[in-house]
Amino acid sequence: MDQFTLNLLVVGATFALYIGIAIWARAGSTSEFYAAGRGVHPVLNGMATGADWMSAASFISMAGIIAFGGFNTSAYLMGWTGGYVLLAMLLAPYLRKFGKFTVPEFIGDRFYSQTARTVAVICLIIASVTYVIGQMTGVGVAFSRFLEVDNATGLYIGAAIVFMYAVLGGMKGITYTQVAQYVVLIIAYTIPAVFISLQLTGNPIPGLGLFSDSTATGKPILQELNGLLGDLGFSSYTEQSDTMLNMFLFTMSLMIGTAGLPHVIVRFFTVPKVSDARTSAGWALVFIALLYLTAPAVGAMARLNLINTVYPEGTQSAPLAYDARPDWMKNWEQTGLLKFEDKNGDGLINYVADPAANEFDVNRDIIVLANPEIANLPGWVIALIAAGGLAAALSTAAGLLMAISSAVSHDLIKGQINPGISEKNELLSARISMAVAIAVATWLGLNPPGFAAQTVALAFGLAAASIFPALMMGIFSKRINNKGAVAGMLTGLIVTIIYIFLHKGWFFIPGTASFDDADPLLLSVKSTSFGAIGAVINFVVAYIVSSATEEPPEEIQDLIESIRIPKGAGQAVDH
């Protein structure tokens, strides 16, 4: 059986499974559409949260970013996992106890203001749409290679699949679909990693293999990789070249962004009890760790295999002739994500650090997907990685679209425009708004602002600067009032957006037009790291404005007290 047919069978089987689950778990009420009827077991919710979390950025792009960035990009691992600790300890149980459907609904009620609720909706939509662009980018990358279609066609196919199971099943269908997607993606990620670790080190556990000796040279894997990169003029893989300030702010931005992302928070509204929210957050961290402990090894080993492919006789000898390139290079060249330009006319693939002499351009988002082919693994492994990459991208896209749909239908339409809307019509408006969100996300995904993981990092910065501070102050401070919350969210959001636009050259400032080459505008702080500063600005503005205006009403202060105290934590407040 040829590889294309095998890919089609495996990917098609997983898609049929997802759609079948959505039909079985079709939402019949707004409670099922928004919160899965609050009946999801904590372990299953942890697994669904893991799939929701391990997006195209985690599955497809993170190892690629690490492969080419080395030590500097370890912040992705620290920030994204550390954020779950914040979420489990500081937000999830309290928000579940409040007993609402959406994050904007909590903010609107806590700050006794429809304006606050509307601002929260705006913040949610901006962060979620930015995030979903990264997912659609991953969908396009995976489809373009494994189903042998162009990037745009891949996006359209992915959007159609998400439409079928997300619009039909709502949160109930998405939850149980994500459980299946987690199983697919974790198997797809770990099996190739185990094979490659065995090939290179003889150790079947990739995380341990990363610190083992190479079976070919006898040197530690990281030492061998550093030597090869040094020969080609690249920075050392284990060297820190970024400033400590930017790495710290980037890690913090990812951490608090994680704790402020609505599509993650809303998962904890689906469990029966408050105690289950904390339990499911713990299980989610366990399920996520299975992939995150493997990703550094996948990145390092992929870079090593890539260099050894181009320089099969060692970096001191002539590189591979272009005409002798392996089939995996030919396959990825067809997607436009791997390119060769013979600058000196010698017919050899010169892969070096100097941009003027480098002739080999590899899109970072293809590393994980191409890894099995680079390592000459069996065809079924290649098909499995395709299914896993698509599962990762589609599961998170569905969660994000669910958050956007809920904000529009529940917080805008029912909460403000038409409070008397019937449940049937609210459910219809939720499905329509999700369909519109899918269309917008697909259109934006055709021209993403960066690699999948980088685009997602911007979304985390936006969530960190706008939503996270409002949630923290809403739970732990009785003094922050509606005026302070609105001022803080708007200031944090606007300042962060302006910095991102300036840094990325979207205001046509010379020298600031790309992710990797742009000069930071403030000390060494890049656009992906500014969310932490935006969050501090949010906190400060909210505190100053609240201190200068009246205290929240007594009933609101009593509400905050009732959310925080453990009494009654065994059973959540029903909506």
> Span 397-407, mean pLDDT?
77
40 against 106, higher pLDDT: 106
84 against 506, higher pLDDT: 84
Name the phi and psi angles at 72, rounded to 5: -60, -30
End-to-end CA distance of the chain: 53
> Is residue 550 very low, low, confident or very high in pLDDT (cuts 50, 70, 90)?
very high
Please say whether the beta carbons of 300 and 222 come within 8 A: yes
User: Does pLDDT of 245 surpass 70?
Assistant: yes
424 against 222, higher pLDDT: 222
> Is residue 21 very low, low, confident or very high in pLDDT (cuts 50, 70, 90)?
confident
User: Does pLDDT of 24 surpass 60?
Assistant: yes
Give the per-residue pLDDT at 152: 79
Give the per-residue pLDDT at 504: 64
> Span 266-275, mean pLDDT?
77
Tokens representing 407? 């904000």
Mean pLDDT of the chain: 82
Give the per-residue pLDDT at 574: 47
Kindly report which listed range (131-145, 151-165, 220-234) carries the lowest average pLDDT score: 131-145
261 against 342, higher pLDDT: 342
User: Does pLDDT of 474 surpass 80?
Assistant: yes
395 against 189, higher pLDDT: 189
Give the per-residue pLDDT at 11: 83
Give the per-residue pLDDT at 27: 59
Give the per-residue pLDDT at 349: 93
10 Å CB burial of residue 207 (0-12, 13-18, 19+) is: middle
Give the per-residue pLDDT at 347: 93
**% of residues, the chain, pLDDT over 90:** 27
Kindly report which listed range (101-105, 134-138, 433-437, 442-446) carries the lowest average pLDDT score: 134-138
What pLDDT, in 10s, does the model give residues 444-469? 777 665 555 566 777 788 889 999 99
Give the per-residue pLDDT at 32: 59
| Most confident by average pLDDT, 57-61, 182-186, 386-390, 513-517 | 182-186
* Distance between CA atoms of residues 87 and 265, nearest Å: 8
> Which among 381, 518, 373, 367 has a CA at the least distance from the CA of 451?
367
> Span 520-532, mean pLDDT?
78
The torsion of the CA quartet 258, 259, 264, 268, rounded to 10 degrees, works out to: 160
Give the per-residue pLDDT at 540: 97
User: Does pLDDT of 150 surpass 50?
Assistant: yes
User: Does pLDDT of 508 surpass 70?
Assistant: no
* Distance between CA atoms of residues 199 and 190, nearest Å: 14
Q: Which residue type sits at 258?
A: T
> Is residue 240 very low, low, confident or very high in pLDDT (cuts 50, 70, 90)?
confident
> Is residue 512 very low, low, confident or very high in pLDDT (cuts 50, 70, 90)?
very low
360 against 262, higher pLDDT: 360
> Span 65-90, mean pLDDT?
84
> Is residue 510 very low, low, confident or very high in pLDDT (cuts 50, 70, 90)?
very low
Task: Say whether 362 sits in a helix, a strand or coil.
Answer: strand
Which residues are 321's β-sheet partners? Answer: 348
> Span 524-536, mean pLDDT?
87
> Span 492-518, mean pLDDT?
64
> Span 314-332, mean pLDDT?
89
| Most confident by average pLDDT, 172-176, 242-246, 271-275, 349-353 | 349-353
* Distance between CA atoms of residues 43 and 24, nearest Å: 20
Q: Which residue type sits at 313?
A: E
The torsion of the CA quartet 72, 74, 75, 80, rounded to 10 degrees, works out to: 160
Residue at token pair 């904000």: 407
Give the per-residue pLDDT at 29: 60
| Most confident by average pLDDT, 68-77, 255-264, 350-359 | 350-359
Q: Which CATH superfamily is domain 3-302+377-465 in?
A: Sodium/glucose cotransporter (1.20.1730.10)
Please say whether the beta carbons of 309 and 75 come within 8 A: no
Give the per-residue pLDDT at 509: 41
| DSSP state for residue 409 in the 8-state scheme | I
Give residue 522's region: left, alpha or beta (phi > 0; psi -120 to 50): beta
Please say whether the beta carbons of 195 and 381 come within 8 A: yes
User: Does pLDDT of 33 surpass 80?
Assistant: no
User: Does pLDDT of 226 surpass 80?
Assistant: yes
> Span 522-529, mean pLDDT?
78
Give the per-residue pLDDT at 570: 46
Give the per-residue pLDDT at 516: 43
User: Does pLDDT of 515 surpass 50?
Assistant: no
What pLDDT, in 10s, does the model give residues 409-431? 877 888 778 888 887 888 788 88
